[in-house]
Amino acid sequence: MKQHAGVQRRSLVTMAVLAGLGARAAQAQDYPSRPVRLVIPQGPGSGADATGRQLAEFMARALNGSVVVDNKPGANGVLASSIVARERPDGYTVFLTSVSLTSFNQYLYKKLPYDPIKDFTFIAPVVDASFMVIASQNSGIKSWADFVAKARAEPGKLTYASAGLGNSTHLYMEKIARDLKLDLRHIPYKGAGPALLSVVSGETDLMCVVTVTALPQYEAGAVVALAQSGEKRAARMPAVPLINELAPRMPALPGWYALVGPAGMPPEVVQKLSGAVRAFLDDESTRKKLNEQFLFPIPGTSEQILARATQESRIWGELIKSLDVSFD
């Protein structure tokens, strides 16, 4: 009798598991049956917002559904990340995350209310933002070689602006200085706009800044472009060398965005969403718009972007620790 009861229980468990799998497969097949919410960790008009809205519009067509943008700025992306990490992993809340949120924040904040790797399902990489290193016209620096020579001749004298302590514009410039063994003085500002204006006015000497932000000032002759990130020189800046041409051992300056969701999303839903992202990046008109904004498509798999986030977490985490930068 006991053996028969055990067999019965195992049969019921097996049936329950199969029923659950069947229900999940049916849900994935019908996905999306209601609007998908795309959370963006910056406000309207930001770089992340512009990218996210283009992606949302295309995803809605690709999924034959509705995708609603939900801007949740604040606390360097911690607010948006916390919200998404707590949502149900059913694919109806997804998130346009970035390298800052996945690879920097766990080292910058003493108490982060989520794990930026374990608490998310990595769906697909989206784009990489281009950066450029610029100098003030007042600095007398006209090239990368000038910059390095001047920094070595006058340790601690050259200043560089950033959009704030722990911001990518701070960490990237610090990484350049560390790798080239240069002593530069950091001047943080409240945002990229004021930091860039400080270089234009000559208040500071240098800055590593998102290309689309600094390009108008460069084309107007207000700043000197010393180098640009990326794998090939931009058509609008053919004379500006790549950072990896000048400092081959420097790790790539990452400015990527990726689509993620809460941990534990069904593989079938992840596949549908990643397929929509791939279609977005393969679309010719999309690629043209992105290139105009100096955003470069990075097609890839969920496994690839997870591996990249994990690797860059190690690279930039070591730098952040050495700088002893932390927020409450």
Give me the amino acid identity at 99: V
| 328/262 Cα distance (integer angstroms) | 24
Domains of the chain as residue ranges with CATH: 26-129+254-323 (3.40.190.150), 131-228 (3.40.190.10)
Q: What is the pLDDT of residues 216-234, one digit of tens each?
A: 999 999 999 999 998 889 9
Helix 267-282, helix 47-63: angle, nearest 10: 110
205: nearest Cα among 129, 138, 150, 286: 138
Strand partners, 207: 134, 161
Q: What is the pLDDT of residues 99-155, one digit of tens each?
A: 999 999 999 998 899 999 999 999 999 999 999 999 999 999 999 999 999 999 999
The pTM (predicted TM-score) of the whole model is 0.84
| 4/144 Cα distance (integer angstroms) | 80
Under the banding of pLDDT at 50, 70 and 90, the label for residue 4 is low
Tokens of 222: 């207000």
Q: What is the pLDDT of residues 25-53, one digit of tens each?
A: 555 678 999 999 999 998 887 788 889 99
304: nearest Cα among 125, 104, 130: 125
Q: Give me the mean pLDDT over the 90-106 stretch.
A: 94
Q: Is 160:208 a contact under the CB 8 Å cutoff?
A: yes
Q: Give me the mean pLDDT over the 156-162 stretch.
A: 97
